[in-house]
Amino acid sequence: MTQLTDDALNVLFREARTHNGWQNKPVAEEMLVALWDLVKMAPTSANCLPARIVFVTSDEGRERLKPHLMEGNVAKTMAAPVTAIIGFDMEFYNHLPDLFPHADAKSWFVGNDQLIYDTAFRNSTLQGGYLIMAARALGLNCGPMSGFNPEGVTKEFFPGTSVKVNFLCNIGYGNDENLFPRSPRPDFEKFCSIV
Count CB atoms within 10 A of the CB of residue 150: 15
Shortest Cβ 36–its own copies spacing (Å): 5
Which of 29, 110 has the CB closer to its own copies? 29
Shortest Cβ 110–its own copies spacing (Å): 17
Which of 45, 74 has the CB closer to its own copies? 45
Which of 111, 182 has the CB closer to its own copies? 182
Sign of dihedral through CA atoms 172, 141, 50, 166? negative
Shortest Cβ 42–its own copies spacing (Å): 6
Shortest Cβ 111–its own copies spacing (Å): 18
Sign of dihedral through CA atoms 146, 18, 177, 31? negative
d(CA 94, CA 158): 17
Nearest one of 59, 64, 52, 77 to 162, comparing CA atoms: 52
Which of 10, 75 has the CB closer to its own copies? 10
d(CA 35, CA 136): 10
Diameter of the chain by CA atoms? 53
Shortest Cβ 93–its own copies spacing (Å): 14
Question: φ, ψ for residue 76 (rounded to 5)?
Answer: -70, -30
Distance of CA 117 to the CA centre of its chain: 17
Distance from first CA to last CA of the chain, Å, rounded?
31
Q: CB of 137 within 8 A of CB of 38?
A: yes
